[in-house]
Amino acid sequence: MSLGIREAREALKLYFGYEQFRPMQEQIISDILQQKDVLVLMPTGGGKSVCYQVPAVVMPGLCVVVSPLIALMKDQVEALLVNGIPAAYLNSSQTADEQYKIEEKVLAGQLKLLYVSPEKLLSAGFFSFLKRLQVSLFAVDEAHCISAWGHDFRPEYTQLRALKQQFPAIPVVALTATADKLTQKDIQEQLQLRQPKVFLSSFDRPNINLTVLPGQNRFNKITDFLSRRTGQPGIIYCLSRKATESLSAKLRENGYNATFYHAGMSAQQRAKAQEAFLRDDVQIVCATIAFGMGIDKSNVRWVIHYNLPKNIEGYYQEIGRAGRDGAKSDALLFYSFADVMNLRTMLSDNDKAQNELQLVKLERMQQFAEATFCRRRILLQYFGEQMGKDCGNCDICRNPPSCFDGTLIAQKALSAVARSQEKLNMSLLVDVLRGSRNSQVLAGGYDRIKTYGAGRDIGTLDWHRYLHQMLNAGLFELAYDQNYTLKLTALSKQVLFDGRKIELVKFEDAKQQTEALQKE
């Protein structure tokens, strides 16, 4: 048995009332007690807090916890105090006097844990204050915020690199519930962790069924979905505040017990909506992504994404609010190309480097939505986990798509792009292929190219699906100009000129997919 782990087990029982550690907790704590740096990746609810709270109790000195979520600090500290562990927090919500009193306690050695916001940690004089104390451990919570690769980048977090420079001898534990592979690497580098062990707990939530449906007639599809889930609590995530309000109004008109939640509401209104949901007084919350952080409701049976999320991290966190109790739950995502375009426009508000990164993340999200193999595999792979087999609990596994030789279809589309000097965006390309006589087609003279009307036999919607597949397969590149014009690639030239064959996936129509969902 390694150093101190016996004390750690006793502390777990004495202060937290738990008989044993969860898988990984013991190894993590043992490493920390040996003064090693560690990176912990565990899904929400996995039990990350114990990983630093137990060492904080058994190690001599003070554990300093850096957390960006001021709203959650209070809860954490209160929970510790209830368990008999002396703890406090310091952040900008307190008066100078309040802060002074806590600093006195810290200096008197009366606390085991001190939660601080990154701003407070980096404020003038705070490092020299810490140097007067015996600090046992630094815990950096929500560590993905340090990385510009992450989806929740907070520039002030990057200054946490100063921790190792100022306190080289003190172990650092970084914790997060969401970090893709690049972000994981970035956390280690930025915090200058010394040969850290990385603990990646499984992110798999096998009880959540994953389904993606085309975005047409969303409202009808939602009521259809709800008709089979009478009274079951769930969340519908929408992109805009306005949409949460109008959707919840429409649901109420249709007899559903729904409300809405977004960051534009007063704190009081938000608390009211949240409590109603927690107490099962309301079945459905239509919300922006502001909803859910720190909400501990284990029986959420379903999560719907009314719009495509910006990235996979966000999507996975949001669907993870369903089925915490382990019982069968559903995640339903609506996907439309219009949403992608909308998100692209929204992202262009960022600075250039961030914009490009967010675009790549959005593309990954889009690829997930258009997946032709097990969706769970794609998700777990994204977080660095390999699944040995298909999950059997996603729409693709239940209804594997059939492929056919799509070379001719691809050639028609690629040839139209080539003959129009790569000036077409996706909808104009479909118009040209289908022989439309709309003004844009005529103005561009595209009715005179050889492939005009060559794809009349395929419907508009199907053309869009095939083109997305071609895009995902690398047969097109989307130029990030105003029009998102389609450009040919090396691969598309092989298909056009060298007889390379292309497989396309035959899409079930929306009705069949809905039926597949019903059979579940």
Closer Cβ to Zn ion, 392 or 459, answer by number: 392
Distance CA 106, CA 62 (A): 8
Which of Zn ion, ligand ADP, none lies near 45, with the C-beta cut-off 5 to 8 A by kind?
A: ligand ADP
- Cβ-contact 474, 491 below 8 angstroms: yes
- Cβ-contact 151, 310 below 8 angstroms: yes
Q: Supply the minimum distance, in Å, between the C-beta of residue 391 and Zn ion.
A: 3
Closer Cβ to ligand ADP, 289 or 410, answer by number: 289
Which of Zn ion, ligand ADP, none lies near 391, with the C-beta cut-off 5 to 8 A by kind?
A: Zn ion
Distance of CA 137 to the CA centre of its chain: 29
Closer Cβ to ligand ADP, 25 or 117, answer by number: 25
Q: Where are the alpha helices (DSSP H) in 373-422?
A: 375-382, 395-398, 407-419
Which of Zn ion, ligand ADP, none lies near 144, with the C-beta cut-off 5 to 8 A by kind?
A: none
Using CA of residue 374, residue 378, residue 381, residue 385, what is the dihedral sign? Answer: negative
* CA-to-CA separations, 473 to 47, 179, 240, 370, 490, in angstroms, rounded: 39, 26, 31, 11, 12
User: For Zn ion, how many residues bind (rule: CB under 5 A)?
Assistant: 6
Closer Cβ to Zn ion, 41 or 397, answer by number: 397
Q: Quick one: DSSP state of residue 447? A: G
Distance CA 404, CA 398 (A): 19
State the helix-helix crossing angle for 218-227 and 510-519, rounded to 10 degrees: 20
Using DSSP bridges, classify how beta strands 402-405 and 503-506 pair: parallel, antiparallel or unpaired: antiparallel
- Cβ-contact 212, 307 below 8 angstroms: no
Closer Cβ to ligand ADP, 82 or 267, answer by number: 82
Closer Cβ to ligand ADP, 320 or 455, answer by number: 320
Which of ligand ADP, Zn ion, none lies near 394, with the C-beta cut-off 5 to 8 A by kind?
A: Zn ion
Residue with tokens 């129009």: 420
Closer Cβ to Zn ion, 391 or 495, answer by number: 391
* SS3 call for 88: strand
In this structure, how many other beta carbons lie within 10 angstroms of the beta carbon of residue 519?
7
Which of Zn ion, ligand ADP, none lies near 42, with the C-beta cut-off 5 to 8 A by kind?
A: ligand ADP
Closer Cβ to Zn ion, 282 or 374, answer by number: 374
**Footprint of Zn ion on 459-518 (CB under 5 A):** none
Q: Supply the minimum distance, in Å, between the C-beta of residue 375 and Zn ion.
A: 5
User: For the chain, what is the radius of gyration of the CA atoms?
Assistant: 26
Q: Supply the minimum distance, in Å, between the C-beta of residue 76 and ligand ADP.
A: 9
Q: Supply the minimum distance, in Å, between the C-beta of residue 21 and ligand ADP.
A: 5
Of 179, 228, 196, the residue nearest 34 (C-alpha): 196
Q: Supply the minimum distance, in Å, between the C-beta of residue 487 and ligand ADP.
A: 44
Distance CA 246, CA 389 (A): 41
Q: Supply the minimum distance, in Å, between the C-beta of residue 292 and ligand ADP.
A: 12
Residues, the chain: 520
Distance CA 237, CA 422 (A): 37
Render 20-32 in DSSP notation, one character per residue.
SPPTTHHHHHHHH
Which of ligand ADP, Zn ion, none lies near 374, with the C-beta cut-off 5 to 8 A by kind?
A: Zn ion
**Residues at the interface with ligand ADP (CB under 6 A):** 18, 21-22, 25, 42, 44-50
- Taking residues 224 to 263 in sequence order and writing x for each that binds Zn ion by CB under 5 A, - otherwise, the string is ----------------------------------------
Which of Zn ion, ligand ADP, none lies near 150, with the C-beta cut-off 5 to 8 A by kind?
A: none
The first and second tokens of residue 335, run together, are: 């996907």
- Cβ-contact 133, 64 below 8 angstroms: no
Q: Quick one: DSSP state of residue 493? A: H
SS (H, E, C) 150-181: CCCCCHHHHHHHHHHHHCCCCCEEEEECCCCH
Q: Classify 322 in phi/psi space as left (phi over 0), alpha (psi -120 to 50) or beta.
A: beta
Which of Zn ion, ligand ADP, none lies near 292, with the C-beta cut-off 5 to 8 A by kind?
A: none
The first and second tokens of residue 369, run together, are: 């939505």
Among 41, 116, 282, 374, binds Zn ion (CB under 5 A): 374
Closer Cβ to ligand ADP, 98 or 325, answer by number: 325
Q: Supply the minimum distance, in Å, between the C-beta of residue 204 and Zn ion.
A: 11
**Footprint of Zn ion on 391-450 (CB under 5 A):** 391, 394, 397
Q: Supply the minimum distance, in Å, between the C-beta of residue 12 and ligand ADP.
A: 6
Closer Cβ to ligand ADP, 12 or 331, answer by number: 12
Q: Supply the minimum distance, in Å, between the C-beta of residue 368 and ligand ADP.
A: 24
- Taking residues 335 to 364 in sequence order and writing x for each that binds Zn ion by CB under 5 A, - otherwise, the string is ------------------------------
Closer Cβ to Zn ion, 7 or 390, answer by number: 390
Which of Zn ion, ligand ADP, none lies near 113, with the C-beta cut-off 5 to 8 A by kind?
A: none
Closer Cβ to Zn ion, 64 or 397, answer by number: 397
Which of ligand ADP, Zn ion, none lies near 47, with the C-beta cut-off 5 to 8 A by kind?
A: ligand ADP
Using CA of residue 449, residue 451, residue 455, residue 460, what is the dihedral sign? Answer: negative
Q: Which residues bind Zn ion (CB under 5 A)?
A: 374, 376, 390-391, 394, 397
